[in-house]
Structure 1
Amino acid sequence: MIVLHEYPLSMVDHVGFRRFVGALQPLFKIGTRNMIRSDIMKHYEVEKKKAIEYMAGIQSRVAVTTDLWTSDNQKRGYMAITAHFIDESWTLRNIIMRFIYVPAPHTADVIGEELYESLVEWNLDEKISSVTLDNCTTNDAKANKHGAQI
């Protein structure tokens, strides 16, 4: 429920939620937010491994898109990396490879390194057909500097 509806992990600490769950099933023990987080991360790692194994078997080239933005209130940078490819049934597929915190400063080297590490982790560094970046001066520098490496 927390993952499906994107509820905060702190929901398990809310008195009303605890009463509601207790009314549904008095014997059910609600875990702590740390336990819930741990369970979510374990599930994520299993699904990520499946996705990486699936991507290893695709024969088509892969187009990658990235988008980097900074949160207004925290001034922290985040980058999403998405792989786009045609599967064996000729269906266009998309997989979000990573959604990561990118440490400041957001230079071409820092962004390029995060992108390259993702491509290597997913074994896509030799299957790339194109990389599409959002429109900002750092990405221009990244494309010019790292384009030959990617």
Structure 2
Amino acid sequence: KKELVSLPGRISFTSDLWTAITHEGYMSLTAHYVNRNWKLKSKILSFFAIKPPHTGIDCGIKLLEKWTKWGVDKKVFSIALDNASSNDTMQDFL
């Protein structure tokens, strides 16, 4: 957490949401950044179960919670998502 908070630059993120064969939903959040030694780093910040419905608003709220927990909510540069229709809503929400 310290490394991410102390970065002079911004952080890019990827996130994915999927449903297991057991109908349980899961979401991941990964940070991608260049550290102080100019090394590209990727760090999984969170992997968690998410209850239905998986609306864009609900997923966006979860991402905001995770960013705040890690202290990087003011360092977001970009987020890459797949083409699920709920991601359009989440993008607009964020």
1:68 is matched with which residue?
Answer: 17
Q: Are 1:120 and 2:39 matched, yes or no?
A: no
Displacement, 1:60? Answer: 1.6
Counterpart position of 1:56? 5
Quick one: percent identity of the two aligned structures?
33
RMSD: 0.9
The yes-or-no answer on 1:107 pairing with 2:55 is yes
Q: 1:59 offset after TM fit, Å?
A: 1.3
Query: Where in structure 2 are the equivalents of 1:1-150 lying within 5 Å?
Result: 52-72=1-21, 74-144=22-92, 146-147=93-94
Look up the equivalent residue of 2:36 and give its one-letter code: E
Deviation at 1:90, TM superposition (A): 0.8
- Structure 1: runs of 5 or more not aligned: 1-51
SS in 1 for 2:15: strand
Gaps of 5+ in 2: none
For residues 8 and 31 of structure 2, the distance between their equivalents in structure 1, rounded to whole angstroms, comes to 14
Count of aligned pairs: 94
Report the TM-score when normalising by structure 2.
0.95
TM-score (norm 1): 0.61
CA distance in 2, matches of 1:134, 1:118: 19
Moved over 3 A (4+): none
C-alpha offsets along residues 31-64 of structure 1, whole Å, 9 cap, x if unaligned? Answer: xxxxxxxxxxxxxxxxxxxxx1221111121001
Whose radius of gyration is greater, 1 or 2? 1
The structure in which a higher percent of residues are strand is 2
